Amino acid sequence: MTKIDNPAATGVDEGIVHAEGTSWVATEVVDYLSRRTASREAAFFIRHLAPGMSILDCGCGPGSITVELAQIVSPGLVAGIDREPAQIANAKRRTLSADVLNTDFRVGNVYEIPYPDASFDAVLAHAVLQHLSEPIRALKEIHRVLKPNGLIGLREEDRNGDVIYPMTPILQEAHALTMRLWQQVGGDPYFPSRYREALREAGFIQVEMSASCEYCSNPNDTRAWAATISHFLEEAELADLILELGWADRPTLEAMVSAYKEWGEHPDAFWAETWCEAVGRKGHT
Ligand SMILES: C[S@@+](CC[C@H](N)C(=O)[O-])C[C@H]1O[C@@H](n2cnc3c(N)ncnc32)[C@H](O)[C@@H]1O
C-alpha cells in the first residue's frame, strides 16, 4: 500500500492505493462460505440448468456451490476459477471428497478468464462483483466466454438492505467503517441493486432481476457471521489501512471487533440481508 498526494477528506481516500479486494482465505471466512449450497444460494440460477450443460463458477471460493452445480449438470463440465490458489485447493479437495469428477478448477482472474471465447452454456458469479473495482469489465469478460444465448447468473447482498438487532452506537460505527473500508479497497457494497443497468451496459439481454433474504437468528449463525465480518477489521493489513487512513485508532478498532463478537453471542441477535439476483443472456450472435 502506498501513500500518494491529494487524500480525500471524507468517504474513499484516493490518496491511499491498496490492491483490489480483500482476502477470503482466513479459516472463519472459508468456514462461513463453505455453508453455501447451489440449491439455496443459487436457486434463481439452477432452475435454468440441465444435465450436459457446461458451467463456469467465477470466483468460486471454497467450491461449496460449484460442487452441487457439477452434480446438477453431470456429465457436463463445471469449471471454477478463483484468483486465490488456496481457494482452488479447497475447492478441489471438496469435489474429490464428494466423488465429483466433472470439474476443472483453475487459479484465474475474472478480468482474464483462462478459457477461450464461447466456452460455456452458463456462468455464475456469486458474491464476487461487489468486490471488484471494474465490475462492468468483468461482465464483458464473462460475456466473451459464454456461448451464443448463454446464461449469466449474479447474486450478492446490497448493503442498503441490512437489518441488524440489537444495534448499538459502536456497532453502527463499526458497520459504517466496514462499508467504507470495502469501498476503499476497490469494491462497492451497493453495486448489486444496479445489476439490471450493469448487465445491459455489458451487452446482455433478457435481464431478469429478483431478490431473496438471508438471515441469522440462532447462536451458531450469529456467532459465525460476527466472526466473519469482524475478521475484516482484525486482519492485519486492513487494520493497518484503517489506522493509516486515520479512520479509527487501535483501541476503537478493538472495541468494534468486541462489539461484533458480543453481538454474535447476544441471545436476541438478528441479522438480515437483501440479496439481489439477476439472470441475463448473451445474444445469438
Ligand atoms: C465472497 S467470496 C465468494 C466465494 C463463492 N462464490 C461463494 O459465494 O461462496 C469472493 C471470492 O471471489 C474471489 N475473487 C475476488 N476477486 C477476484 C478476481 N478478480 N478474479 C477471480 N476471483 C476473485 C475471492 O478470492 C473469493 O474467493
CA of 132 to the centre of ligand 1 (A): 9
Residue 236: the pLDDT is 84
Residue 162: the pLDDT is 93
User: How many domains would you assign to the chain?
Assistant: 1
Cβ(134) – ligand 1 distance below 6 Å:
no
Task: Name which of 123, 130, 151, 134 is nearest 274 in CA terms.
Answer: 130
Identify the domain containing residue 68 by its residue range.
2-281
Q: Please tell me the distance from the alpha carbon of residue 56 to that of residue 37, in angstroms, as a whole number.
A: 16
Residue 19: the pLDDT is 59
Among protein residues, the one whose CA lies closest to atom 4 of ligand 1: 61
Which of 246-283 are b and which e, b meaning 16 or more Cβ less than 10 Å from the residue's Cβ?
A: ebbeeebbeebbebbbebbebeebbbebbbbbbbbbbe
**CA angle, 25 as apex, 160 and 209 as ends, to 5°?**
35
Cβ(45) – ligand 1 distance below 6 Å:
no
Cβ(127) – ligand 1 distance below 6 Å:
yes
Residue 203: the pLDDT is 98
Write out the chain's pLDDT in tens, 285 residues: 333 333 333 466 666 555 566 777 778 788 888 999 999 999 999 999 999 999 999 999 999 999 999 999 999 999 999 999 999 999 999 999 999 999 999 999 999 999 999 999 999 999 999 999 999 999 999 999 999 999 999 999 999 999 999 999 999 999 999 999 999 999 999 999 999 999 999 999 999 999 999 999 899 999 999 998 898 888 888 899 999 999 999 999 999 999 999 999 999 999 999 999 999 999 997
Mutate to test the pocket of ligand 1, among 18, 39, 81, 83 (most ligand atoms within 8 A of CB): 83
- Residue 138 CA, chain-centre distance (Å), reads 13
Cβ(84) – ligand 1 distance below 6 Å:
yes
R_g of the chain, CA atoms, integer Å? 19
Cβ(63) – ligand 1 distance below 6 Å:
no
| Number of the ligand 1 atom closest to the C-alpha atom of 132 | 16
Cβ(153) – ligand 1 distance below 6 Å:
no
Among protein residues, the one whose CA lies closest to atom 27 of ligand 1: 61
Q: Please tell me the distance from the alpha carbon of residue 229 to that of residue 231, in angstroms, as a whole number.
A: 5
| Number of the ligand 1 atom closest to the C-alpha atom of 20 | 16
Cβ(69) – ligand 1 distance below 6 Å:
no
Mutate to test the pocket of ligand 1, among 82, 94, 109, 126 (most ligand atoms within 8 A of CB): 82
Cβ(129) – ligand 1 distance below 6 Å:
no
CA-based end-to-end distance of the chain:
43
CA of 134 to the centre of ligand 1 (A): 14
Residue 4: the pLDDT is 31
Cβ(158) – ligand 1 distance below 6 Å:
no
Cβ(155) – ligand 1 distance below 6 Å:
no
CATH number of the domain at 52, please. 3.40.50.150
CA of 207 to the centre of ligand 1 (A): 23
CB 89 within 8 A of CB 155: no
